[in-house]
Amino acid sequence: MKKDSTASVTKQKINSTFYPITKEELLWLRARTPMDNTTYVYLALKLENPFCDRPIDINVKEFILAWGIARSSLYKTLAKLEEMNVLTLISKECKIQWIQGSYADNKPEQSHDRTCNSLTQETKVSCTR
């Protein structure tokens, strides 16, 4: 009988003890024990994709609300995890939309252009971290 190489699946035995943590348990631990942002975000991302077998899209607003972490802390932590070669950030740009009636809309035309340009540059810089 001919063996089909594509149907062959290697089963690997896990030789260590592990415990699959739930979201509720991680949130409970975060609230009651000192846990640095790197560990916390790493574990939260593992819960989003436990097998780490594919890229995942993270909605920043939903993530920070669901996990109770500041936006700036999330960006800093993602940059740190990338520096540690734990993950790779695929998209390093933010999609922004100006809020009507914001400070930039109330400026005279000439300074409005400068304000928008400088704000856009600052936003791009902060989002790449």
33 and 67, same domain (yes or no): yes
Percent of the chain with pLDDT over 70: 64
Alpha-carbon gap, residue 86 to 69, rounded angstroms: 20
Of 79 and 12, more confident: 79
Of 35 and 4, more confident: 35
- Classify residue 100: in a domain, yes or no: yes
- The pLDDT of residue 128 is 36
Q: What is the separation of C-alpha 92 from the centre of its chain, rounded to a whole number of angstroms?
A: 11
69 and 103, same domain (yes or no): no
Please state, rounded to an integer, the average pLDDT across all residues of the chain: 75
| Amino acid (one-letter) located at 116 | C
- The pLDDT of residue 97 is 75
The pLDDT tens digits of the residues spanning 62-121 come to: 999 999 999 999 999 999 999 999 999 888 666 667 787 766 555 544 444 444 444 433
| DSSP one-letter code for 49 | S
- Classify residue 42: in a domain, yes or no: yes
101 and 124, same domain (yes or no): yes
pLDDT at 122 over 60: no
Number of domains in the chain: 2
- Classify residue 40: in a domain, yes or no: yes
76 and 112, same domain (yes or no): no
Of 110 and 60, more confident: 60
Alpha-carbon gap, residue 90 to 54, rounded angstroms: 12
56 and 103, same domain (yes or no): no
Range of the domain at 112: 94-129
For 2, the token pair is 């001919």
70 and 102, same domain (yes or no): no
Alpha-carbon gap, residue 69 to 47, rounded angstroms: 15
